[in-house]
A and B are shown apart, each in its own frame.
Chain A
Amino acid sequence: MKKKLFVFLVALVAFASLLSARPYAQVAVIANPSVKATAISKGELSDVFTGASSSLSDGSHVVPVLLKQGAAHETFLSDFIGKSDAAFRTTWRSLVFTGEGSMPKTFNSEAAMVDYVAATPGAIGYVGKGTEHDKVKTLAVK
């Protein structure tokens, strides 16, 4: 009985781990090759994409860019930034309406974002892992 319970619990934990690992498997954080870092912490990512910071811990200057909508956008916001789309845009609008920031450049497609990030020093964005992004750097999320 105890063995069955143990197996059940292990299976449950494994299933939960799979669920929690889902977003990391689906979204890639990308950057222009000029960005020195090879990895970024979730806290840094949140700071950069909410306008609280414009550099990474290694000193790299970064400029965030966004997708207008879509699965990759929703997943990135909910799992890396911890905000809904409405709350996320509210944060940026507060910066705009107080003179403390301007909205990040926004793209309609992941391909357009990849092209922009590839061509713009310091640019940092995100795409679904299925989207081709060979010409940009992929940052591991710590």
Chain B
Amino acid sequence: MKRILAGAIALVIGAATWGAAQSLEDLNIQIHGYATQGLLYSTQNNVFTAATSDGSPSWSDVVVNVTAEPLPKLRVAFQARYFLLGTQGNALTLDWASADYKVNDRFGVRFGKVKTPSTMFNEIQDVDPGYLWSLLPQSVYPILSRNTVLTNYGGVVYGTVAPIKELGKFEYRAWGGESIIASTDGFFIPIIDAGTDYPNGLSGPTYGGALHWLTPVHGLMFGASITHDDQTGPVTIPVQGFSGNTLPNPFVIPDFYGKYEHKRFMFASEYERVVVTHEAVFTVGPPGVHSSYLDHRNSYAMASYKVTDKLTVGMYYSNYIDRKAAIGPGNYQKDWVVSGRYDFNQYLYAKAEQHFVDGEGIVYDTRDNRSGLKPQTRLTALKVGVSF
């Protein structure tokens, strides 16, 4: 219902402003897009539900964006995407669709299906042309389950204030709405592997806030965000014939980050902790409340250097630990990465990246590694992209 309401409001605003505009030219319509094609090759384990140990080209993104600016302070836009990674995606979806009214630099509001402005890179984690890396640090930005955090059906208020000029500026973001995780989402892959299924996915309220301090030191930013989630839905254990529902269990995700950019150099680091208690009651199956816990500590540090106007190189170290999992390669993942990007011109670019992965805590699908997971993997990612 909330989704329908948010969509309807965005549509009404769009239609009203369309009517108010004198001509198509007054709407200032822009069409942009990008397309990427990647190749993944790994040793030892297959990753991202693809047969990467044979070399897999099943990694594509095609995005079309339409933006209209019928009034100086109002922007109405939507973005559609075709995404494929391994067995995931392979469908055309609506990324987001929103109306944005920016009163001034201090206050603006955006609503509809909106990007959730949590963490340092959440809003741009699916915008490949926007950064150097082929894959962002998987500890904080796991590509297969990114849809769970990318957007919400609701709204965002935002702005930049400078109450004391000598302290620099403060960017704030606050959001609230409904979060929906489709049953086909990559988020469920390890859960389904473990024998549990969520046939209707999960959904529920989400809200949070983020604050960025743009310090008086030019290029130095510190930030923090906190996200509150509470998704529920039907749950089954097909092998045993159990079925029931999850119980509401609100959880928060605190996230802290910093970035320093100076001329051709960039350094950034981020830390988040995800503590979730998951509870279910079966209507068909054993009585009582069935609980499981996770406690993820995710972090990374990255640096990049712009060698020339066209060539940028960088490296990062990504670290994931599940404090609740049994000790061994399955409860952690460490990833050393070296990366490069070459911009042939303003439209065409290519990326190359090498991962040295230790541990098997995330990104692997046991169905694609039937002979068992190995503790170490080398992953090569090549990508070419065009944007306009």
Chain A interface residues toward B at CB < 8 A:
43, 52-55, 61, 63, 82, 84-87, 89-90, 93-94, 96-103, 105, 122
Residue pair B28, A102 in contact (C-beta under 8 Å): yes
Whether, in the assembled complex, B166 has its beta carbon less than 8 Å from a beta carbon of chain A, the answer is no
Give the segment of B72-80, B279-287, B290-298, B325-333 that binds chain A: B72-80
Contact B105 A55 (CB under 8 A): yes
A90 to B341, CA, bound (A): 13
- Which of chain B's residues 348-376 have a Cβ closer than 8 Å to chain A? 349
CA distance A61 to B72 in the complex (A): 10
Given A94-B127, A96-B65, are A84 and B115 neighbors across the interface (CB < 8 Å)? no
- 16 pairs of residues in contact across A and B, judged by CB atoms under 8 Å: A53-B105, A54-B104, A55-B104, A61-B104, A84-B343, A86-B345, A86-B346, A94-B124, A94-B127, A96-B32, A97-B63, A97-B65, A97-B79, A98-B115, A100-B123, A101-B75
Chain B residues within 8 Å of chain A by Cβ, number: 37
B335 touches A (CB below 8 Å): no
CB of B61, distance to nearest CB on chain A (Å): 11
The residues of A that contact B77 with a CB separation of less than 8 Å are 99, 102
A96 to chain B minimum Cβ distance, whole angstroms, is 5
Q: How far is the CB of B268 from chain A (nearest CB, A)?
A: 15
Complex alpha-carbon distance, A43 and B104, angstroms: 18
- Chain A residue with minimal CB distance to B33? A97
Interface-located stretch among B43-51, B94-102, B248-256: B94-102
Nearest 3 CB-CB pairs, A to B? A84-B309, A94-B130, A86-B343
Is the contact region of chain B dominated by helix, strand, or loop, or is it mixed? strand
- Least CB distance from B114 to A in Å reads 7
CA distance A93 to B64 in the complex (A): 12
Asked if B22 is an interface residue, CB under 8 A from chain A, the answer is: no
Given known A-B contacts A54-B105, A86-B343, A86-B345, A96 and B160 have beta carbons under 8 A apart: no
- Cα-based distance from A94 to B115 in the complex (angstroms): 12
**CB < 8 Å neighbour of B387 from A85, A93, A100:** A93
Give the complex CA separation of A105 and B65 in angstroms.
Answer: 17
On whether the beta carbons of A89 and B346 are closer than 8 Å, the reply is yes
Whether B346 and A97, one on each chain, are in contact in the complex, defined by CB atoms closer than 8 angstroms, is no
- Minimum C-beta distance from A86 to chain B (A): 4
Residues of B with C-beta under 8 A to A97 = 32, 34, 63, 65, 79, 124, 127, 129-130
Assembly CA distance A61 to B28 (angstroms): 19
The answer, yes or no, to whether B110 is at the interface (CB within 8 Å) is yes
With a cutoff of 8 Å between Cβ atoms, the chain B residues found around residue A86 in the complex are: 309-310, 343, 345-346, 349
Chain A proximity mask over B92-125: 1 for CB below 8 Å, otherwise 0: 0000101010101100001000110000000110
B310, A96: Cβ atoms closer than 8 Å: no
Is B23's beta carbon under 8 Å from chain A?
no
Q: How far is the CB of B97 from chain A (nearest CB, A)?
A: 9
Q: In residues 66-88 of chain B, which contact A (Cβ within 8 Å)? A: 67, 69, 72, 75, 77, 79
